[in-house]
């Protein structure tokens, strides 16, 4: 993935930075999965990323300025990964990606609930969610009710509804 800088096209440069199979998965888990530590990212997601791949992607994303790495004050051995402002501004991109995937791939209906809610909310909801991420990751003040909790509640309701029979 090193840098050849094939062209100055913004779409191309975005692909050079994020266009692989794992980088956006990591960012998705930090963004929607509320995960902060290496181990949470390693075992928490359904996709099963290998530890060396995760280590490599975290290193690259930190180097690219999308994540910061800091020490956990409570546990000296733990590293805490946080989204930076450029990564937080990927919310609209991931929202569109989720919306497209829920419409044009055989995505799980329960997992698509969040994507559809984010899509229906549109830019206003994205902004609220970005504010929330800023407060979670940068210590900025939160302004409204938790978008993350709302998305999660809708997902769990869908799962419960599914489990309770059609």
Partner DNA sequence: AGAGACTGATTGCGATTTGCAATCGGTTTT
Partner DNA sequence: AAAACCGATTGCAAATCGCAATCAGTCTCT
- Residues in the site for a copy of itself, rule: CB under 8 A? 6-17, 19-21, 24-25, 28, 45-48, 86, 89-90, 92-94, 96-108, 111-112, 115, 122-123
CB of 75 to a copy of itself, least distance (A): 29
DSSP letter, residue 64? T
Is residue 2 close enough to count as binding DNA by CB under 7 A? Answer: yes
CB of 145 to a copy of itself, least distance (A): 24
Per CB under 7 A, which of residues 17..56 are in contact with DNA?
Answer: 20-22, 37-40, 42, 48, 50-53, 55-56
Size of the site for DNA (CB under 7 A): 25
CB of 104 to a copy of itself, least distance (A): 4
Q: Phi and psi for 86 in degrees, rounded to 5?
A: -60, -40
Element (H, E) at 49: none
- Cβ count near 24 (within 10 Å): 17
109, 154 Cβ separation under 8 angstroms: no
Which CB atom, from 75 or from 103, has the smaller least distance to DNA? 75
DSSP letter, residue 142? P
Is residue 13 close enough to count as binding DNA by CB under 7 A? Answer: no
116, 99 Cβ separation under 8 angstroms: yes
Which CB atom, from 78 or from 121, has the smaller least distance to a copy of itself? 121
Residues in CB range of 137: below 8 A, 6 or more apart: 82, 83, 84, 88
Is residue 155 close enough to count as binding DNA by CB under 7 A? Answer: no
């Amino acid at each position: 993935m090193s840098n050849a800088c094939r062209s100055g096209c913004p779409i191309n440069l975005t692909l050079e930075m994020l266009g692989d199979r794992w980088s956006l998965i990591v960012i998705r888990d930090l963004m929607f999965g509320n995960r902060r530590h290496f181990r949470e990212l390693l075992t928490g997601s359904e996709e099963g990323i290998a530890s060396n791949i995760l280590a490599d992607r975290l290193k690259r994303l930190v180097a690219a300025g999308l994540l910061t790495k800091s020490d956990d004050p409570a546990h000296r051995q733990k590293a805490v990964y946080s989204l930076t402002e450029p990564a937080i501004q990927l919310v609209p991109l991931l929202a569109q990606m989720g919306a497209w995937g829920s419409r044009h791939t055989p995505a799980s209906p329960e997992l698509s609930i969040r994507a559809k809610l984010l899509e229906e909310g549109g830019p206003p909801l994205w902004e609220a969610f970005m504010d929330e991420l800023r407060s979670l990751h940068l210590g900025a003040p939160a302004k409204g009710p938790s978008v993350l909790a709302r998305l999660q509640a809708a997902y769990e309701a869908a799962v419960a509804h599914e489990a309770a029979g059609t």
